[in-house]
Copies of this chain bind each other. A is one copy, B any other.
Amino acid sequence: MSVYAGFDLGGTNLKYALGTSNGDIINRHSKPSLADQPQAVIFDNMFTALAELLQEAKAQGEEIAGIGVGTPGSIDFAKGQLIGSTPNIPHWTDAPIKKNFEARFKIPTWADNDANLMALAEARKGAGRNHGTILCLTLGTGIGGGIIIDNQIYRGVHSSAAEVGHIIIEFGGKPCNCGNFGCLEAYASAPAMVERYRRKLKRTGVVYEIEELSTELIFEKAALNEELAKQTIIETCDYLGAGIASMVHIIDPEIVIIGGGVADAGQEFIDRIEAVAKGVVLKPIARSLKVVKAELKNDAGIVGALLLAAENAKR
């Protein structure tokens, strides 16, 4: 039996694990990703992690047959390389992931966008288990997405499919980090939600610094029936529901899966998004549209990376 190495590189932590060809985690680890450091330092940090995993594999009498790496940003999948830059890892621009890993370790390596890998993990082992065509959203600092069509990751022609945070929901609306205006991310990401709440509070004379607030706090306050927190959540769901309606009118998936930190808020939040989306999609879609919560939580990234490696190594 071969084993695989999976990496989930984030703006704060590098998660990595040894796993089976089914994406089951054997050993999991986490350490700082050194995301603000030069590219060579980030690679070295990952190489040290891989050396650990190679040791672990050896101790079990196994060899690592493939490496999967999930990272933020658009990835040229064939080259296993970042296309341009990604905001939270400033020196990660054009990072040649596949090339560097393979040069150093002579083990076949694949890299993909982290939201694509979350979608793959949910498709194989999570909320999308029994579905072949899936739309996944991750709600956090940004809004990412992954699309599974006929059981495979759909990457598009420029590896830029499922950039769901940047569909335009309000023509000429709020500025987005991407430089455009009116993107879904500018209305329904975690920071957008916090800012929305802060403004509501300010209008009643209660002034908070943005750092004092969080989506967790908003959900806590809403659970205590605090009106402005409840309004903030309802408005966020309205934007997410409308955004999902747009996506569904393009892809028409079997199921929509919502993950990321904000999605952990609870079933009510997901149910409300589903209700809004059902209310605004065309009838043939509304009848069977399902919006559900991701199941794999924090493990989705490494499970997806393990599956990416295992499924491609088998080909």
Chain A residues in the interface with B (C-beta under 8 A) = 74, 83-84, 133, 147, 149, 154-164, 166-171, 173, 178, 180, 182, 187, 238-239, 242-243, 245-247, 249-254, 280-285, 287-288
Nearest-neighbour CB distance to chain B for A92, whole angstroms, equals 15
A163: contacting residue among B159, B170, B249, CB under 8 A: B249
Given A133-B156, A239-B171, A254-B157, A83-B284 contact (CB < 8 Å)? yes
**Which residue of chain B has the shortest Cβ distance to A166 in the bound complex?**
B249
Given A158-B288, A246-B246, A84-B167 contact (CB < 8 Å)? no
User: 8 A-B Cβ contacts within 8 A?
Assistant: A83-B284, A84-B283, A158-B252, A160-B249, A161-B250, A168-B245, A169-B171, A178-B282
**A163: chain B residues within 8 A (beta carbon):** 249-250, 252, 282, 285
**A252: chain B residues within 8 A (beta carbon):** 155-161, 163
A249: contacting residue among B83, B157, B167, B171, CB under 8 A: B167
**A187: chain B residues within 8 A (beta carbon):** 171
**A288: chain B residues within 8 A (beta carbon):** 157-158
